[in-house]
């Protein structure tokens, strides 16, 4: 399976009709939203609303920008948050967008600082 944006959206790897039909008019939670490509895709495929959770601050900012640029901010909400036990979790602050695909736990990270993210 081609994992690049062309393979996913142009070649239609996310177009599974039986799944997309069930999204129409429903609310969706996107956990690990990255830059909101899938959240935007779900809205464009008919989801009523998408709540997208992204723990990495840089990726969450980019996700917010992408949703605003796409004109879908009313239907796709981005939260810099993580799904888990109530409280806070420390994540890398300055983790590059491209590197978020290969995200490693903090114990395996080098210097760069950490931020607290709500859960």
> Can you give the residue ranges of every domain in the chain?
5-84
Please report which confidence band the pLDDT of residue 81 belongs to, taking 50, 70 and 90 as the band edges.
Answer: confident
Q: What is the pLDDT of residue 104?
A: 45
Please report which confidence band the pLDDT of residue 47 belongs to, taking 50, 70 and 90 as the band edges.
Answer: very high
pLDDT digits (tens, 9 = 90+) for 2-25: 455 555 555 555 666 676 778 889
Q: Give the full edge-to-edge strand order of the sheet including 27-31.
A: 27-31, 49-53, 76-79
Q: Supply 75's token pair.
A: 């239907």
CATH number, domain 5-84, options 3.40.1180.10, 3.40.50.150, 3.90.1150.10, 3.40.50.1820: 3.40.50.150
Question: Do the strands 27-31 and 49-53 form a parallel or antiparallel pair, or are they unpaired?
Answer: parallel
* Whole-number average pLDDT of the chain: 75
How long is the chain?
Answer: 119
């Amino acid at each position: 399976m081609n994992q690049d944006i062309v393979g996913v959206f142009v070649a239609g790897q996310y177009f599974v009709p039986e799944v997309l039909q069930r999204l129409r008019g429903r609310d969706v939670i996107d956990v690990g939203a990255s830059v909101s490509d899938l959240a935007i895709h779900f809205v464009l495929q008919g989801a009523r609303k998408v709540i997208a959770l992204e723990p990495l601050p840089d990726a969450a900012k980019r996700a917010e920008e992408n949703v605003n640029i796409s004109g879908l901010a009313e239907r796709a909400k981005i939260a810099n948050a993580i799904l888990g036990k109530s409280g806070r979790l420390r994540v890398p602050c300055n983790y590059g967008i491209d590197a978020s695909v290969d995200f490693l736990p903090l114990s395996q990270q080098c210097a760069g600082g950490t931020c607290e993210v709500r859960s």
